[in-house]
Chains A and B, each alone.
Chain A
């Protein structure tokens, strides 16, 4: 039994925001024992105790992430001039480092948001090798011939629903993501732009129809996480209209809009690029069925990784260093484009401010999630700096003062006074993600909860405070002490099993045989192939 003694507990789910003790046994948070005896007591005096953090959108494993490693061996720590300097400059880490760095920051569950079905087994093998943290993967649908053919044929809702269920179960997914719905298919037919009401050539199906069909299927199947939507027109000036139109289109059912920062742009000013964060935030505030994550950018070298092949093909012209990868499959495919966000670049500075504005202007911390879309906006190792920017107006003003005034003037950031409280941080990074993903067993410190716990030393410098924990506990095991990993237990992959119909399974068999001369077994993820005892943990669907 572990006793976390004399800390300051922050757990909005159980209305804890004050001094208290925590007891852990058998991997769970338990009631204080009558005798009060612990095998280990951690002195938490001067510390804040929260549940382990949950990242809802971070590209940590799978074919595209790994291709980025192979594309950029020069970004591997061993190749850097001063490898020991700081973890912040690293994007080329191996899976072991990924798990360790997350755990050191007090994160214990991370969602890989873009598992292509064809790469499902690869993604799970890679995720299984990330130590400590639990993982979940969202399977990417919405650009494949099979689904588009169902929609073209105006087939029943149940056919689409069965298909979605089949894909989720076959690939071991926690939910569904749609990425620029229809655009990768349209790109194969030589389209170079694709908007919500554009039709995929050859199918007569619009992006809107694809999104709505998938959203409905996810909702009707009772999959806890709403459809995770990467909208059309990512990065395009004036694309706030796209975000608003997508919210309008999907209203009435839950929808999660990913990395909304990349859709917070207007067309004002001499350069035709400005912040539209206020409009987007206002829409999010109004539409209670919408959740968003931000995808904050931070300055420095990174690599953009996306299944949005159409967008990444355009972005290749901005690659820094000058190299890029576009792969296309029967599903989305992937685009990998190295990029360096510069604090002297007008557009990058506007992007930076848009992300912060959205964080600060969206009122409800239950509906806005903390992400950098790792590594697209910045490596996840920048999280501590972003916490500081959100929690400390002075830190924010200091950062703004270093940036070009002309760019900041195209945004509303300088006038925002809000500072996130510890409780709001706990909601945004713990309680709300658990609720969004349907993970009732975590995200809080209540009795019976999974003992995923992060203990931070309270400091005025919030970046310093959130850089590393005094103690991180994963499923009852102390994995980090004083900022250093001391144990590397294996995490689980979280999956849902909505119940796939056998009719669609036979139909997939026929389709794969006829079109590809293959069995759909090719993308089936058999847990036995992962070489672990019970690699999956099932998350119940809504009944």
Chain B
């Protein structure tokens, strides 16, 4: 990808920035999606959203939104991967899945205190003390419910493997349910958090969630402090409004309620649905779609081309990651700030 494109033609970056500003400023309901950038990029995007009255959502909005809704409904009991690595002695892999991040997480947790493992549903290959088979999200949710009832002595005759699993969980010095929110629906999420909460009546137990990809947790946190509400929000009438259905970026674009989109990369490229409205895309060097969006601008990758603040799986916290091979490519934050500065004076929708 060259440094910038307008309508498929390679142009100098400044020209693309001006085109992006014009496109966004003239929109009635712009959407800023993706937010697949470092903290500075996300923050700049949210400030722009505030000025132009844009909706903000993340590339992994569905998962983040589901987690946020469960959090606002019941709260959570959670700990960090690093602390479970140090003191955890029992793991319940509850819908963790077996993708690369799940493997990385389990591998990280497996050091330190030796662990006994109960698995429920798909999980990375590991030595498991009790395996509770479950295929698909509804079966995992049902399995979690059965396990919770067994742990709570609410069943006259629990299945033998569930009894064995419950004994293991309740025998833990400090246990943790390890799960991937992407694989669990709201009922299963509530069940896994409820199970952890219940177990603390007499024992110690918590949870470790696989963070949403593409710096999603950072986007949620930054929206929390800048807007005061979770993602899937819009700054309008002088304040933030939050509505997980109304401000779902994909729904807005697919129905064309939105009339322009800005995709903030580069950690993840835009999905095909974005192209249903005129779009500005900030993406990494490798971005090469069949048809270029109205405006595309090449940006560096945080932690590779330039330093960036990224949410860490191990610590559940934001951390500055130095560049692995620094380049002169601009950051998402710089480009978003430049678009912001290039807005015509009447471009304020807020």
Contact A94 B73 (CB under 8 A): no
B160 lies within 8 A of chain A by Cβ: no
Contact A66 B224 (CB under 8 A): yes
Chain B residue at minimal CB-CB distance from A334: B78
Known contacts A145-B86, A327-B78, A516-B86; is A70 also within 8 Å of B226 by CB?
no
Give the residue of B86, B242, B315, B318 whose beta carbon is less than 8 angstroms from that of A73.
Answer: B242
A23 lies within 8 A of chain B by Cβ: no
Contact A95 B225 (CB under 8 A): yes
Residues of A within 8 A of B108 (CB): 517
Contact B314 A518 (CB under 8 A): yes
Give the residue of A70, A96, A324, A516 whose beta carbon is less than 8 angstroms from that of B85.
Answer: A516
A125 lies within 8 A of chain B by Cβ: yes
Interface residues on A, range: 35 or more
B187 lies within 8 A of chain A by Cβ: no
Residues of A within 8 A of B239 (CB): 77-78, 83
CB distance from A481 to the nearest CB of B (A): 19
Query: Which residues 57-76 of A have a CB within 8 angstroms of B?
Result: 61, 63, 66-67, 69-74, 76
Query: Which residues 73-112 of A have a CB within 8 angstroms of B?
Result: 73-74, 76-79, 83, 92-97
**Binary contact track B7-48/A, C-beta < 8 Å → 1, others 0:** 000000000000000000000000000000001100100000
Give the residue of A74, A96, A121 whose beta carbon is less than 8 angstroms from that of B226.
Answer: A96
Give the residue of A61, A94, A122, A187 whose beta carbon is less than 8 angstroms from that of B227.
Answer: A94
CA of A83 to CA of B238, assembled, Å: 12
Contact B174 A121 (CB under 8 A): no
Contact B83 A329 (CB under 8 A): yes
Contact B203 A190 (CB under 8 A): yes
A326 lies within 8 A of chain B by Cβ: yes
CA of A70 to CA of B173, assembled, Å: 30
Known contacts A61-B225, A329-B79; is A121 also within 8 Å of B72 by CB?
no
Most chain B beta-carbon contacts within 10 A, residue among A94, A333, A524: A94
Residues of A within 8 A of B309 (CB): 121, 125, 529
Contact A328 B228 (CB under 8 A): no
Contact A189 B204 (CB under 8 A): yes
Contact A70 B71 (CB under 8 A): yes
CB distance from A431 to the nearest CB of B (A): 31
Give the residue of A73, A516, A526 whose beta carbon is less than 8 angstroms from that of B314.
Answer: A516
Give the residue of A66, A83, A531 whose beta carbon is less than 8 angstroms from that of B225.
Answer: A66
CB distance from A318 to the nearest CB of B (A): 13
Query: Which residues 51-91 of B have a CB within 8 angstroms of A?
Result: 68, 71-80, 82-83, 85-87
Query: Which residues 495-543 of A have a CB within 8 angstroms of B?
Result: 515-518, 521-524, 526, 528-529, 531
Give the residue of B75, B220, B229 whose beta carbon is less than 8 angstroms from that of A336.
Answer: B75
Contact B320 A71 (CB under 8 A): no
Contact A118 B317 (CB under 8 A): yes
Known contacts A94-B227, A323-B73, A516-B85; is A329 also within 8 Å of B316 by CB?
yes
A242 lies within 8 A of chain B by Cβ: no
B319 lies within 8 A of chain A by Cβ: yes
Known contacts A69-B224, A78-B239; is A323 also within 8 Å of B317 by CB?
no
Contact A69 B85 (CB under 8 A): no
B206 lies within 8 A of chain A by Cβ: yes
A490 lies within 8 A of chain B by Cβ: no
Known contacts A63-B317, A329-B83, A518-B315; is A188 also within 8 Å of B226 by CB?
no
Contact A515 B112 (CB under 8 A): yes
Residues of A within 8 A of B200 (CB): 313
B146 lies within 8 A of chain A by Cβ: no
Contact A330 B80 (CB under 8 A): yes
Known contacts A189-B204, A522-B312; is A125 also within 8 Å of B228 by CB?
no
CA of A536 to CA of B340, assembled, Å: 26
CB distance from B69 to the nearest CB of A (A): 9
Contact B112 A69 (CB under 8 A): no
Give the residue of A78, A126, A319, A329 whose beta carbon is less than 8 angstroms from that of B80.
Answer: A329
CB distance from A218 to the nearest CB of B (A): 25
B339 lies within 8 A of chain A by Cβ: no
Residues of A within 8 A of B74 (CB): 323
CA of A78 to CA of B230, assembled, Å: 13
Chain B residue at minimal CB-CB distance from A326: B77
Contact B80 A71 (CB under 8 A): no
13 contacts between A and B (CB under 8 A): A66-B221, A69-B224, A70-B224, A77-B239, A121-B319, A125-B222, A145-B86, A189-B173, A329-B79, A330-B82, A516-B85, A517-B111, A531-B333
Chain B residues close to A by CB (< 8 Å): 39-40, 43, 68, 71-80, 82-83, 85-87, 108, 111-112, 173-174, 200, 203-204, 206, 220-222, 224-230, 239-242, 307, 309, 312, 314-320, 333
Chain A residues close to B by CB (< 8 Å): 61, 63, 66-67, 69-74, 76-79, 83, 92-97, 118-119, 121-122, 125-126, 129, 145, 187-190, 313, 319, 323-330, 333, 336, 515-518, 521-524, 526, 528-529, 531
19 new A-B contacts at CB < 8 Å, known A189-B204, A325-B71: A63-B221, A63-B317, A70-B68, A70-B224, A73-B230, A92-B228, A93-B228, A94-B227, A95-B225, A95-B226, A119-B317, A122-B221, A129-B43, A188-B87, A326-B76, A328-B83, A515-B112, A529-B320, A531-B43
Q: Which 8 A-B pairs have the closest CB atoms?
A: A94-B228, A323-B75, A529-B320, A328-B79, A324-B75, A66-B224, A516-B82, A325-B75
